[in-house]
Amino acid sequence: MERNEILEKIIEIASDVLGTNPDDVNEQTTFDDLDADSLDRLQLVTAMEDEFDLEIDEEKLLAISSVADAVEAIESAQEA
């Protein structure tokens, strides 16, 4: 899957889980910008793992703080 497709899916997931407008989310958006608490972040990761049918390793999981980080984590998990 291409990076742009992954980005679009993550923006869609973040918008659904956090109830934000997709137009307000881009690659530089952090989850702090979206007022995501730890439970929200867990829901985001679970939704991403389900959508992309993969598991993000714990080290990468703890480093996800932005949409760009999520894209990179998905790309890494797909390559593994």
The residues carrying an active-site annotation are 37
As a whole number of angstroms, the distance between CA 39 and CA 69 comes to 18
Specify the 3-state DSSP secondary structure of 26.
coil
Sign of torsion over alpha carbons 54, 66, 36, 16:
negative
Q: Which residues pair with 66 in a beta bridge?
A: 30
